[in-house]
Amino acid sequence: MEEHLRRVVDLLREERGEPPLSASQPVEDVRRQFRALCNVRPAGPASDVLLEAQNAFLQEETRTRGVEDVSLFSFTNRVALWQGDITRLSADAIVNACNAQLLGCFQPLHGCIDNVIHTWAGIQVRRDCDLRMKGGQLPTGDVVSTSAYNLPSRNIFHTVGPIVRDNAPSMSDAEALASCYRNSLDLANDMGLATIAFCCISTGVYGYPQDQAADVAVRTVREWVADHGSGPQVIFNVFLDRDWELYEHVLS
């Protein structure tokens, strides 16, 4: 794995006109540089050599980090709750809470889910989104699908949640958030997908209070499931302990 990692970092540096890394560079520093270089890389095409090296590293990384087989999850009324890294799930689709440009997070090593998903899926995702958007912006609540490339999931659903001011979501904010869930479920159903995993859309830097966001998410999904005789099984994926507690409470 280390050989592939150093190779892809050197190729990313070469794109920028920078010299190769020193062979003595600690591997953890090289990993951080890989992620940072992917984060700031523009959405242009990549050479076959770069993509081959990146894919080799990311696929090894996926195997090393481990894949969570969602078929083994316990679903109640087609809904399950799971805590962990969404990029390890083998769901047919994972939902990314993205910005309106769909270009991912350009801040190196940022902890947002948009950054993490783009990093471990591969630089192809930013390219695909750029070609799809053509410089435009995705309306809040809408959804766009891309391949998940090097992730164990098959697809990434990119959706733009509402930005909440002063920790006080309006009725229109709540409806926009609900639209993210409904439109994602509609798209998954249209595509014939069996499973879809949702992150906690619009929480974090977008300012939607976690408890209220959980209420909207669970209510919307339950209404959709009740209205459809068939459709994908739904996984609420949480990362923080606080979100686990909130979703466990709402679901019960």
pLDDT score of 204 = 87
Of 196, 164, 246, 245, which is closest to residue 86 (Cα–Cα)?
A: 196
Answer whether residue 90 shows pLDDT above 90.
yes
At the fourth CATH level, which superfamily is domain 68-251? Answer: Leucine Aminopeptidase, subunit E, domain 1 (3.40.220.10)
Both structure tokens of 211:
């408890």
Task: Please give the span between the terminal C-alpha atoms of the chain, in angstroms, as a whole number.
Answer: 43
Q: How do residues 159-216 score in pLDDT, each as one tens digit?
A: 999 999 999 999 999 999 999 999 999 999 999 999 999 999 999 899 999 999 999 9
Buried/exposed code over 147-175 (b: 16+ C-beta within 10 A; e: otherwise): ebbbbbbbbbbbbbbbbbeeeebeeebbb
Going from N- to C-terminal start, the domains of the chain cover 2-64, 68-251
Q: Position 184: which residue type?
A: S
Q: Which tokens sit at 251?
A: 């679901």
What's the mean pLDDT when you consider all of the chain?
97
